[in-house]
Amino acid sequence: MKKIKNGLINFSGSIPLLIGCDLARLDEFTLSLLTNDEVIDVNQDPLGVHGAPILKTVRDLWRQKDVAETDDKHTVTVNPHGAVMLRIY
């Protein structure tokens, strides 16, 4: 089921990862992005229940490493046409 709240789209339940390209021609970098377990695990609770995050560690999911520890906030600069995906736990 799709829910829209505050301009964000939330899909409840399991959603397959759809890829619109020739899988046989993926380069190593693209394959690593598509198979990054930490990114795939975001919002994939088997019961569809969202957890309450505890602000402690900030992890960069693209680089697969912890980048900061905080109890308040974390600021990131994103380059034009860039992307950042963080997990706070």
Neighbouring CB atoms inside 10 A of 16's CB total 5
What pLDDT digit, counting tens, does each position of 49-62 carry? 666 656 688 999 98
Integer Cα distance of 61 and 59 in angstroms:
6
Chain segment 17-35, per-residue pLDDT in tens: 677 888 888 899 888 888 8
Q: Are 56 and 33 in contact (CB under 8 A)?
A: no
CB 86 within 8 A of CB 51: no
Predicted TM-score (pTM) of this structure? 0.43
Per-range mean pLDDT, top range of 6-10, 24-28, 42-46: 24-28
